[in-house]
Amino acid sequence: MRIGTRGSVMALAQTEEVLRQLKLARPQGTFEKVLFDTKGDRDTTSKLVQQGGKGGAFVSEIRDAVRRKELHAAMHSLKDIPGNEETPDLTIGAYLQRDTAHDCLVLRADRSEADLSSSAATAPLTIGSTSVRRAAFLRHIYPGCETIHFRGSVVGSEKSRLFKLDNQLPQETEDGGTVGPADALVLAASGLKRVNQDHRIERVFSTSEMLPAVGQGVVVVECRSDDYETLELLASVDHFETRQCALAERELLWILNGHCNSPIAGICEMDDGELRLRAAVMSLDGRKMIETEVSGEVALPRELGREAAFQLLGKGAGELIEASRL
């Protein structure tokens, strides 16, 4: 079985976990990971929206290899898969058990969180992130700070975000200029744990402070819809609770027609035999936020996602999403 993956340190760590579980399910099987240097890995300067979003940057090249039958399957972070496209020839065969969905703060050694909290508007400290969602929440948590565009793998090279943070290096921009350096970063806590950098976490934001991205903390394995042998194998490592929660979140994204620049957030959890979905849409400046919370049957995740999406649209979320396309 050939599984495609990006070649970053984090993607390899995620794929190793997929392979570990598959080998436990089928000890006699032979498994091989195939590394891809995707557009988003090659170009760490341009904003993701200019590369076709996260899908175009990190997913499309590996997906095409699955379609050509060069691979049996592909490993993805669920939050990298676009929520507003149809792929009837491909399907997610396995959702691995979700890691923590929380975002977290990482500081440069000479900074403290107190510095961020007291940052003056005349000389604001900078927090690096590529996410408009995180930027919107950060404007509430650290109103005196400036959020700057900051890209790259988390670790593994001199272009990685942690290396640039620690060495006070600026972020190159697509116009040949630079921004930064950064005083802090906001990253997914699950990602830092996967690459053994969780000791760098200064603060874990509660989901009330910073609602996660849809699919955050979930690793999935995708294959062709008609590859029944691979689907049968992937079913052996599929985590039911994670799948149901992810289906609710992804339906929310689908109905909202979310794109890579949309400040949309959502987290679904199983609570006392029910699914509970919290979701929000924000303005790009973080000043306006529309929220909702719904609960429903575990067996009906997509219906729950639709209900949450229509509630948000009824409160005016569509205008905020359209404004973020500009």
Here the tokens at position 226 are 């008609």
Of 54, 161, 203, 278, which is the active-site residue?
161
Q: DSSP for 22-67?
A: HHHH-TT---EEEEE--HHHH--SS-GGGGTHHIIIIIHHHHHHHH
Of 133, 194, 200, 203, which one is the catalytic site residue? Answer: 133
Active site residue 2: no
- Active-site residue flag, 151: yes
At 9 the three-state DSSP class reads: helix
Catalytic annotation on 104? no
Q: Name the token pair of 138.
A: 């950060």
- Cα separation of 291 and 280, whole Å? 4
Name the catalytic one among 33, 134, 203, 278: 134
Largest Cα–Cα distance in the chain?
63
On the 0-12 / 13-18 / 19+ scale of CB atoms within 10 A, 93 is: buried
Verify whether residue 194 is a known catalytic residue: no
Closest CA relative to residue 126, chosen from 136, 140, 111, 137: 111
Out of 41, 54, 80, 108, which one is annotated catalytic?
80
Q: Which residues contact 139 (CB under 8 A, 6 or more apart)?
A: 147, 285, 286, 287
Considering the candidates 33, 151, 200, 250, report the single residue annotated as catalytic. 151
Q: Please identify which of the residues 145, 223, 245, 260 carries the catalytic annotation.
A: 260
Select which of 33, 63, 79, 108 is catalytic.
79
75 contacts 18 by C-beta, under 8 angstroms: yes
Q: Does 260 participate in catalysis according to the annotation?
A: yes
How distant, in Å, are the alpha carbons of 149, 226, 247, 278 from that of 131?
8, 35, 22, 19
**Residues carrying an active site annotation:** 79-80, 133-134, 151, 161, 260
